[in-house]
Chain A
Amino acid sequence: QQQVKQSPQSLIVQKGGIPIINCAYENTAFDYFPWYQQFPGKGPALLIAIRPDVSEKKEGRFTISFNKSAKQFSLHIMDSQPGDSATYFCAARKRGGKLIFGQGTELSVKP
């Protein structure tokens, strides 16, 4: 069963647009919610992460919004650039180390 559901599967935006990627989770035992960015041919790299006691976290152009009651969290990319074109994964970690990823979103930012 998929405990973390990510949408959309793919996303195309124009340069300067604000792509939003959404994730929903089922298990309230998750204690850490990271987002990873993956470029073709590379391993994923941590982009930004949030804990459930915080509703928003911003790092540069990347913002996570977290809604604990709705069990949803999302990634916003402000002023998106072609270099942001990559696959993005949300994830949720259970206490004890088990990490569950979403299915991934392939983002394309057009010049």
Chain B
Amino acid sequence: EAQVTQNPRYLITVTGKKLTVTCSQNMNHEYMSWYRQDPGLGLRQIYYSMNVEVTDKGDVPEGYKVSRKEKRNFPLILESPSPNQTSLYFCASGHYGVTDTQYFGPGTRLTVL
């Protein structure tokens, strides 16, 4: 089944404790992206990647890191999480081009205490 998977789905952590949220897709998509969703603010792009070893900042990259060493994986790293990073996070992947569609994962609910 074609899908984007994220792990963990739910995470409660404490300020300053490094964490990684994994994202994997099995559709051979070049494009992958991370978003955070907050009430009243919609979805905001954190980082995106056009292909392996190519990453770019979205609108809200501060406090996050990403890497794209393999085409299928795009982990999101919070080196020192803070309470303002409490949010719902979505990973997405797709083909970039004339008819690009992004497929979203199920989301990761992160709470930083």
User: Which A residues form the contact surface with B (CB < 8 A)?
Assistant: 6, 9, 32, 34, 42-46, 49, 89, 91, 96-104
For A103, the chain B residues whose CB sits under 8 A away are 40-42
Please name 10 pairs of A and B residues whose Cβ atoms are closer than 8 Å in the assembled complex, sorted by A. Answer: A43-B104, A43-B105, A43-B107, A91-B43, A97-B33, A97-B96, A99-B102, A102-B42, A103-B40, A104-B42
For B103, the chain A residues whose CB sits under 8 A away are 45-46
For A49, the chain B residues whose CB sits under 8 A away are 101
User: Which B residues form the contact surface with A (CB < 8 A)?
Assistant: 4, 31, 33, 35, 40-45, 48, 50, 56, 58-59, 90, 92, 96, 100-107
Cβ contact within 8 Å between B59 and A43: no
For A96, the chain B residues whose CB sits under 8 A away are 50, 56
- Looking at chain B's contact residues, is the secondary structure mostly helix, strand, loop, or mixed? strand
Cβ contact within 8 Å between A44 and B101: no
Which chain A residue lies CB-closest to B105?
A: A43
Can you add 11 more A-B contacts, CB < 8 Å, to A43-B4, A44-B104, A99-B48? A34-B101, A43-B104, A44-B90, A46-B102, A98-B48, A99-B58, A100-B59, A101-B35, A101-B43, A103-B41, A104-B42
Cβ contact within 8 Å between A32 and B45: no
A9 to chain B, nearest CB (A): 8
* CB-contact partner of A101 in B42, B50, B106, under 8 A: B42
Cβ contact within 8 Å between B45 and A98: yes
Given A43-B106, A43-B107, A97-B96 in contact, is the A89-B56 Cβ separation under 8 Å? no
For B31, the chain A residues whose CB sits under 8 A away are 97
Interface centre among A34, A44, A89 (most CB of B within 10 A): A44
